[in-house]
Structure 1
Amino acid sequence: IHQTEWTSRTSQLEEVPVLGGGTGFIGTALTQLLKARGHEVTLISRKPAPGRITWDELATSGLPRCDAAINLAGENILNPLRRWNEAFQKEVLSSRLETTHLLARAITKAPHPPQAWVLVTGVAYYQPSPTAEYDEDSPGGDFDFFSNLVTKWEAAARLPGDSTRQVVVRSGVVLGRGGGAIGHMLLPFRLGLGGPIGSGHQFFPWIHIRDLVGILAHAVEASHVQGVLNGVAPASTTTNAEFAQALGAALGRPAFIPLPSTVVQAVFGRERAIMLLEGQKVVPRRTLASGYQYSFPELGAALKEVVA
């Protein structure tokens, strides 16, 4: 998802923007939801276009007056067409850290800073485990490339002082029509060739696109929300094999053909393959406590909506 941002306007707040990754899968869904709720959305992108500002304009002219800034950053880590080499790793890092630093600096320098600053990272912060359960207060962030990436990313977003509410949403695998992880899975499953990845015993933290953007809108609009929220569905005990079975059931197809771990490692590289072959049991304790109500708490209903 290319990083971008937004501007928001509500009847109770002054005229201003929310900034976010509006051209990608999540950004497009979030833009639609925010506009439906009466917000005005301005995107930050590389190229100028109506209703957008560029990153260069942000760096030189500062942040336009806004209620909230949302950061959806970064090169797609699991792009199977990109080899997992040093150049791609640098791209993955810079596409998240540089834009996050730039936005955080712009917020800090703004004469009228936004009321909320929301960053989307990932559950890769938590160490894969077949037994451990992680909530928002669990330790992590220091055991491999991806956990270190999330730690650096969240540190880059940190603002001094407390004039702006800061929220980090650590997202699981996002399920939705027309994009996200499921886009790569549907064809083999429709052909009856789908199945678990590797052993299938690894946990598979997931969230429906409607709930991820719902949590982001909730973070912007609810003044009591701050700190880390896990962007995963409450049915977090799903394993990869259970996910494969549920997707097969939603499509009316068998889903018993496993994808061997050796193939996954060959396609993605050993380090990157860990994201698919190992998983974390992640619970959205603070997300639920904040008052967010899920549209798709259960996997079966979420997948039926996605493949309908």
Structure 2
Amino acid sequence: MSSTLSAGYYRPSPTEEYTEDSAGGDFDFFSCLVSSWEAAAVIHGSPTRGAVVRSGVVLGRDGGAISRMLWPFRLGLGGPLGSGLQPFPWIHVRDLSGIVCHVLESEGLQGIFNGVSPSSPSTSNGSFAQELGAALGRPALLTVPAWAVRAVFGAERASMLLEGQRVVPKRTLESGYHFIFPDLSAALKDIVA
């Protein structure tokens, strides 16, 4: 069993939707790294079954992406990155751990599973910023310009933040997993409560 960041595997695209069967893993450092992790997780000729969960941005109360975002948003200084139109693949930490447990406990499951919310493909960075602001009762109007994101994070990480991917949990849903937090608003309210 392995878990990797799906945003690192799939090519950034504002329009293409990626399922577990979509190609990726060969266009930049992060995608090659994720491919190498996944290849190392599979032991060829082993009697054990292999499963990989490719997670989106993990949202939870303690640590993770939210911990870095909360202070600016609580101060009313939060907002979208760049245009805000880029897809934002996300998952609540309880659903990520739920998917991992579901895959481990279901003997017939193996292969790749996208650990992202079913509403993730329709979530943009801008709509995420608006929902986080609403959950905190704060405005989310200040846009962080793309040049500032590139200056802080460097070109490769900035492209992940400024371009994004529409990732769909097709096989995850087909496997019978039922999401606890399929909706971003409910997930953020749970996290900031």
Q: Quote how far apart the aligned CAs of 1:161 are.
A: 2.2
Instruction: Please name the residue that 1:120 is paired with.
Output: 3
Q: TM-score, normalization: structure 2?
A: 0.97
Instruction: Please name the residue that 2:98 is paired with.
Output: 214
Distance 1:267 1:128 in 2: 19
Pairing 1:233–2:117 present: yes
Q: Which runs of 5+ in 2 are unaligned?
A: none
Distance 2:151 2:22 in 1: 32
What are the residue-to-residue correspondences of 1:240-259 with 2, within 5 Å? 240-259=125-144
Instruction: Please name the residue that 2:153 is paired with.
Output: 268
Mean Cα deviation higher: 124-133 or 154-163: 154-163
Q: Which runs of 5+ in 1 are unaligned?
A: 1-117
How many residues align? The count is 191
Instruction: Please name the residue that 1:297 is paired with.
Output: 182
Other structure's SS at 1:267 match = helix
Q: Quote how far apart the aligned CAs of 1:162 are.
A: 5.0
> What is the identity percentage for the equivalent residue pairs of Structure 1 and Structure 2?
65
Per-residue CA deviation, residues 46-95 of structure 1 (Å, 9 max, x unaligned), is xxxxxxxxxxxxxxxxxxxxxxxxxxxxxxxxxxxxxxxxxxxxxxxxxx
Pairing 1:184–2:68 present: yes
Distance 2:185 2:139 in 1: 15
Distance 2:54 2:100 in 1: 11
Richer in helix (by share): 2
Greater RCO (CA < 8 Å, at least 6 residues apart): 2
The structure having more radius of gyration, on CA atoms, is: 1
What are the residue-to-residue correspondences of 1:16-165 with 2, within 5 Å? 118-123=1-6, 124-161=8-45, 163-165=47-49
Other structure's SS at 2:27 match = coil
Per-residue CA deviation, residues 199-251 of structure 1 (Å, 9 max, x unaligned), is 10100000000000011111111111110000000002100000000000101
